Amino acid sequence: MTDPISHRFANPALLEQALTHRSAGAPHNERLEFLGDALVNLIVAEALYQRWPQADEGALTRARAELVRESALAPIARTLELGARLTLGPGEMKSGGHRRDSILADALEAVVGAIYLDAGFETCRAQVLPWFVPAMEALPPAHKVGKDAKTRLQEWLQGRQKPLPLYALLAESGEDHAKTFRVSCTVGQPPLSAEGEAGSRRAAEQLAAEEVLRLLKADD
C-alpha cells in the first residue's frame, strides 16, 4: 500500500514524533509543529509571490492566511490519512481527537518540520508544495482575495458610520492542549448578536463576526 506521505524518512523516529500528540507523553510533536508552521508559511508565501507577480502585500498576506489556517490544513492532513496514524493519550482517543481539526492541523505542520529535519529545505518544499496547489488554484484572482470576517464586518460598519462590534468570551473549556472557546460578537445598530465556537479565541471571533455580517446583509 502506498504511503500518502511519499517522503521516505532516513530517520523514521522523526515521523513517529511528528505524529505523537502531547497527550501521549514525550517526545511529542509540539517543537516540530513550531518549526513546521514557519516552513509552511515560507513555502506558501514563496509560491504566492511567484504565482502573483503583480499582487501587493495585502493580497499576498490574505491569500497566505487563507491557505495556512487550521481549517485549510486539516483537510490536507485527512488526505494524507494522518488521523489514523496519530498517537494520542487515552482522553484524546475517547474524545475523537484523531478527527479534530486543531490536532490534525498541528500534526501536518509537525510532519513538515520532520521532513525538513530529515532531508533539508529543497526536499521539504518539493514534498509539501503540491499539497497546497489545489487550494492555491481555487483562490480567486489576487485583487479579489477576501479579507477575514472581522475586518469585513468592521469595514461594513465603518462604511455606514455605525459603532464597531464588541467581542466577549462566553466560555472556555477543555484541557490546555485542546481548549474550546465560545465567543459572542455584538453590534448595536441594528442590535444583533451571534456566537462562534472554535479551538482558538481568534477563530471563534471570526465565526461570530461572519454570522453577524450575514445577518446584517440579510437585513440591509
215: CB partners within 8 A, 6+ apart: 192, 194
| Count of other CB atoms within 10 angstroms of residue 42 | 14
CA distances from 105 to 21, 22, 89, 139, 143 (A): 12, 14, 17, 20, 28
Q: Which residues are catalytic?
A: 37, 109
Contact between 14 and 118 under an 8 Å Cβ cutoff? The reply is: yes
Rg over alpha carbons for the chain, rounded to the nearest Å, is 19
**What is the residue type of 118?**
D
- Determine if residue 106 is labeled as part of a ligand binding site: yes
| Count of other CB atoms within 10 angstroms of residue 45 | 16
- Determine if residue 33 is labeled as part of a ligand binding site: yes
26: CB partners within 8 A, 6+ apart: none
Known binding residues for Mg(2+): 33, 106, 109
